[in-house]
Amino acid sequence: MSALTDHAENLILDWLMTTGSATRPTAWYVALHTSAPSDASPSTGEISGNGYARQSATFTVTGDTASNAADLTFGPNTTTNWETVSHVSVWDASTAGNCLWHGALTASVAIAVNDELKISAGSLDLTMA
């Protein structure tokens, strides 16, 4: 996934191109979406309620790619269907906060009651293109 949000782009530009200081996130959380988020509206389509919660993530960097260091598991405590998950995003908070990255899953996944969605370690790749 290579779509940085406007917020993340501003952090990078402030850090690289000015003498100002950008505040670096200290935690990262992965969110699921039923429609495409955008730079301007990154929370669009994020699942809410019914046993859903963003998952805490850590990343390792190899070359020009950051990947999730451990499995990320959503569910299986779903209390209703979550519809079809098509996109993910990375945030700096477990609720609200600032979105940093967003992108589409390789394949959409329908999540029903008591299902889980697992993103295996090393499967969520963040790149700067």
Q: What is the mean pLDDT of the chain?
A: 92
Is-contact 40 7, C-beta < 8 A?
Answer: no
Report pLDDT for 65: 94
* 60 pLDDT above the threshold of 80: yes
Q: Which residue has the higher pLDDT, 28 or 2?
A: 28
Instruction: Round to whole Å and give the CA distance between 105 and 107.
Output: 5
106 alpha carbon, distance to own chain's centre: 14
Q: Is 88 helix (H, G, I), strand (E, B) or coil?
A: strand
Residue pointed to by tokens 């029903």: 112
Instruction: Round to whole Å and give the CA distance between 78 and 84.
Output: 13
